Amino acid sequence: MATPRLVEDFHHETLRDRHFAERIVFWDETLRDGEQMPGVHFTPEEKLRIAEKLGEVGIPLLNAGIPVVSDEEARAVRLLADAGLPSKILAAGRTVPRDIDAVIRSGASHIAIFVAASEVHLRYKLKMTQDEVVAASTASIAQAKAAGLHVAFVTEDTVRAPFDFVERLYQAALESGADRLVVSDTVGIMTPLTFRWYLTEFVRRLHPRDWSVHCHNDFGLAVANTLTALELGATSPHVCVNGLGERAGNASLEEVAVALESLYGVRTGLKTEKLYELSRLVEEVAGVPVAVNKSLVGYNSFSHEAGIHTHGILANTLTYEPLQPEAVGRKRQMILGKHTGRAAVIEKLKEREARPTDTQLEELVQQVKLRGEGRSKAEYGRFVEEYRRLYEQPGISDAEFWEIAQKLGIGTRTA
């Protein structure tokens, strides 16, 4: 019989087709795109707490926010820029002079200048022509470069834009001194294969030294698409802790990082064993619970209940786990319930050095199963109800909105 192979062996054999960058610079978007998630907002102090933990994990670049949004947002960027964090601080702005000014004044060393590229965005949102977009972009890049900033040039909705325009716009950005180009799949429509085609063409036409992707999870493909880009040499993936972000979120930081380390053997330089702490902190501060079955950081990702599985795990954890829970700062959990088998019960009894007779053991296993099957689901039902009540309409309620409006004398019907 052939020796069983570890997951790493399968993947390492196909590394020939992969061209990972020498150094991957994780670009965290939790404090910007993550915060743009409906219902989520961070105070400057909360942003700092998260930024400190991101720094401990070793994330080299943090998008702190868009300073022109509000005074509070500008204060947040300033707070992070002045905190002496190990990570570089980036702030974002549109291709308008006052946005770039706000970033320059914020103390951030890096800027992301963003503009939409697709026809649907240009026509309906920006109401700008392609020529106007190119002119505004190059002027903004020049303004930021003159102030000594590291400039990432981001196009929104890149993949739905005409390719020739994307090429022209990025070429102009590079000529104006942009240090890094960012390709966005703003509405999450790429698949790994289409993105591979797209990015191969992007690299062939533009030869960027340093480039990022910004992937959304509308079809659950953000991580897969981000990994595809990294396989092709992307240097700086955009990620969010717990996959937070607009709509269905962005590529999850922990999933991209651990997939690189465990599936491809790529060293990220991150302290992955701190990822669970980071996930828990963001869960608390954002107030967005991590799904029980979320990869790596969900409660179930290293839990086992089924008899056959626990038996295998107790014999050798490789049977039913692709990596050790300690790799992300977690512990394995054995769950006792309806699906429990003998092996798990024997293991549990070791805690008190109990040695039952065969009949006792058989009876104990049956009783555990019965107890599991008979457990009331009422508490979980109440939790689901509460969860729905809180999340079906996050943000301010209808009643609150109309109260504010009426105080201002708006929308008060006087029949």
Contact set with Mn ion (CB under 5 A)? 33
Complex with Mn ion: residue 28 or 33, whichever CB lies closer: 33
Helix (H, G, I), strand (E, B) or coil at 254: helix
Half-sphere exposure of 373 (CA within 13 A, CB side): 9
State the nearest-atom distance from the C-beta of 250 to Mn ion, in Å: 6
**Which residue has tokens 């980036």?**
90
State the nearest-atom distance from the C-beta of 63 to Mn ion, in Å: 10
CA angle 229, 230, 233 (to 5 degrees): 95
Task: From 149, 180, 183, select the one nearest 166 (Cα to Cα).
Answer: 183
State the nearest-atom distance from the C-beta of 373 to Mn ion, in Å: 45
156 within 8 A of 117, measured Cβ to Cβ:
yes
Q: What is the 3-state secondary structure (H, E, C) of 346-415?
A: HHHHHHHCCCCCHHHHHHHHHHHHHHHHHCCCHHHHHHHHHHHHHHCCCCCCHHHHHHHHHHCCCCCCCC
Task: From 27, 65, 62, 93, select the one nearest 234 (Cα to Cα).
Answer: 27
- Give, as one character, the DSSP assignment of residue 261: H
State the nearest-atom distance from the C-beta of 176 to Mn ion, in Å: 23
Beta-carbon contacts of 53 under 8 Å, excluding residues fewer than 6 positions away, are 274, 277, 278, 281
107 within 8 A of 82, measured Cβ to Cβ:
yes
State the nearest-atom distance from the C-beta of 143 to Mn ion, in Å: 23
Complex with Mn ion: residue 140 or 250, whichever CB lies closer: 250
Residue nearest to Mn ion (CB): 33
Complex with Mn ion: residue 33 or 99, whichever CB lies closer: 33
State the nearest-atom distance from the C-beta of 33 to Mn ion, in Å: 4
Helix (H, G, I), strand (E, B) or coil at 238: strand
255 within 8 A of 223, measured Cβ to Cβ:
yes
CA angle 251, 265, 195 (to 5 degrees): 40
Residue type, 407: K
Complex with Mn ion: residue 198 or 302, whichever CB lies closer: 198
Distance CA 208, CA 151 (A): 13
What sections of 26-162 are H helices per DSSP? 44-57, 71-81, 97-106, 119-121, 130-146
State the nearest-atom distance from the C-beta of 187 to Mn ion, in Å: 9
State the nearest-atom distance from the C-beta of 237 to Mn ion, in Å: 13
Complex with Mn ion: residue 47 or 216, whichever CB lies closer: 216
Complex with Mn ion: residue 33 or 254, whichever CB lies closer: 33
Task: From 87, 88, 93, select the one nearest 73 (Cα to Cα).
Answer: 93
Complex with Mn ion: residue 246 or 261, whichever CB lies closer: 246
Complex with Mn ion: residue 190 or 364, whichever CB lies closer: 190
State the nearest-atom distance from the C-beta of 28 to Mn ion, in Å: 13
Complex with Mn ion: residue 222 or 345, whichever CB lies closer: 222
Complex with Mn ion: residue 33 or 46, whichever CB lies closer: 33
Task: From 28, 105, 27, 103, select the one nearest 66 (Cα to Cα).
Answer: 103
State the nearest-atom distance from the C-beta of 262 to Mn ion, in Å: 26
